[in-house]
A and B are shown apart, each in its own frame.
Chain A
Amino acid sequence: MRRRYLALKIDSNETFTSREFVSAIWDAVLKLYGEYGASQTYLALINYDIEKNHAILRTAHTTVDMIRAALASIIEIRNKPAAVHVLKVSGTIKALHEKKKL
């Protein structure tokens, strides 16, 4: 299975734990695509920087657009207004860091 890594930025006045963040993503994916769709994403949180509000998410390359839509549909995390933006997408974590530096 080919994978894609997504660099994310969480935009909010609040800070969230990684558990709360992942839970918000899963909720969004489940709401939009159901359990069958969610099972195809192979979603995993690779890194979460609570200070910078940045995160790295891994998914299957076939479901990048699904995850983009699910992330864009998030308007709150733990009932607090929030938005999640995809900064970069890459096939390896190393390339993702290089792209982020550019």
Chain B
Amino acid sequence: MKRTYADLHLCPDLRNDEQVESVIKSASQLGYSLIGIPLPQNFPEEKIQQLKNLCRGNKMDFASRVDLNPKTSKELIRSLRRLRRQFEIIAVTCKSKQVARQAAKDRRVDLLNFPFHDPRKRFFDKAEAELASNALASMEIDMESLLTLAGRSRIRFLSSLRREVTIAENFHIPVIISSGASNELLMRKPRGMAALASLFDLSKLLSIDAISKNPRAIVERNREKLNPKFVAPGIRLIRRGEDCQKR
């Protein structure tokens, strides 16, 4: 079966319709069939529908995503309770160890994102991986940082990524590669993204999975859960009996 590619983290300025349109068009031209754009928490439903229509016009699928930036684990839990049923993808930007640990063990979190380039501030270690392996979270790597950094900071960043990817592999945590691009010139073809992933020793097969199978699995799993017919994993409501309708 032919692989289809996904980029779950495109970051155009949502106030600039022209930029949103050009980024979506570029994604389609580069060969992606599923994209995700982080939306503000109170983003109106009709605007989400507009984005979906725009993607459909470019023969792509759109997944709604929200990026949470909590300062404490309590704040994270509150946000998850409020937003889980509104968005298809929930990513948590882990800016502290406390938040990183809570996000890793919470089954409502889809993506763990570590924004810092300083290795001391990146919290994806064995303990984090152990927690994440018992939950559903995947590790997201944004290629934008890799492209824009240079010199020693890029070297340090690559070293951190290499260590983290090895830990993720050992604990069977899915890795997701996204562009994190705010404009079309920072977007790359799927094969280009996979080639960049070879810089931190992610094998060819795993890097292709990281831009195709893994992101699609997250979106499909969440769409199933958000479906009103969903009861529990593996259990779906097929049809309501007459008794149910009377009630």
Contact indicator per residue, chain A 57-86, by CB within 8 Å of chain B (1) or not (0): 000000001001101110100000111011
- Inter-chain CA distance A69–B199, complex, in Å, is 8
Instruction: Identify 20 residue pairs between A and B in the complex whose beta-carbon atoms are under 8 Å apart, listed by A's number.
Output: A11-B184, A11-B185, A65-B198, A65-B204, A68-B191, A68-B195, A69-B196, A69-B198, A71-B192, A72-B147, A72-B189, A72-B195, A72-B196, A73-B146, A75-B148, A81-B185, A82-B185, A83-B185, A85-B188, A86-B192
Taking residues whose C-beta sits less than 8 angstroms from the other chain, chain B's interface range is 20 to 34
Q: How far is the CA of A83 from the CA of B185 in the complex (A)?
A: 5
**In the complex, what's the smallest C-beta–C-beta distance from A86 to chain B, in angstroms?**
7
Within 8 A of A (CB), among B53-79: none
Across the interface, which residues of A come within 8 angstroms of B187, CB to CB?
Answer: 83
CA separation between A80 and B157, bound complex, in Å? 24
Complex-state Cα separation, A71 to B199, whole angstroms: 13
Residues on B with C-beta less than 8 A from A11 are 184-185
| Interface secondary structure of A, over-half rule | mixed
Min Cβ gap A96→B in Å is 16
| C-alpha gap A20/B189 in the complex (Å) | 23
Shortest beta-carbon distance, A17 to chain B, in Å? 19
A82 to B186, CA, bound (A): 8
Partner of B186, one of A68, A69, A83, A86: A83
**B165-223 CB contacts (< 8 Å) to partner A:** 183-189, 191-193, 195-196, 198-199, 204
Q: How far is the CB of B158 from chain A (nearest CB, A)?
A: 9
Residues of A within 8 A of B185 (CB): 11-12, 75, 81-83
Q: Across the interface, do B192 and A32 meet the contact criterion of CB distance under 8 Å?
A: no
Closest-CB distance, A61 to chain B (whole angstroms) = 15
Bound complex: CA A75 to CA B180 (Å): 14
* Nearest CB of chain A from residue B11's CB, rounded to whole Å: 16
Q: Which of B183, B189, B195 contacts A65 (CB under 8 A)?
A: B195
Q: State A1–B148 Cα separation when bound (angstroms).
A: 34
Interface residues of B in 64-116 (CB under 8 A from A): none
Known A73-B147, A75-B147, A75-B148; contact A83-B196, beta-carbon cutoff 8 A: no
Check B30 for interface membership: any CB of A closer than 8 A: yes
Chain A min CB distance to B147 (Å): 5
- Of A65, A83, A85, which is in contact with the most chain B CB atoms at under 10 Å from its CB? A83
| Cβ-defined contact, A72 with B30, below 8 A | no
Chain B residues within an 8 Å CB radius of A68:
191-192, 195
| Residues on B with beta carbons closer than 8 Å to the beta carbon of A73 | 146-147, 196
- Give Cα A6 to B195, complex, Å: 14
Distance to closest chain B CB from A87 (angstroms): 9
Most buried by A among B30, B150, B199: B199
- With A69-B192, A69-B198 already in contact, 14 other A-B pairs whose C-beta atoms are closer than 8 Å: A12-B185, A31-B150, A32-B199, A65-B198, A68-B191, A68-B195, A72-B193, A75-B148, A81-B185, A83-B184, A83-B188, A85-B188, A85-B189, A85-B192
- State in angstroms the CA–CA spacing of A65 and B196 once bound together: 9
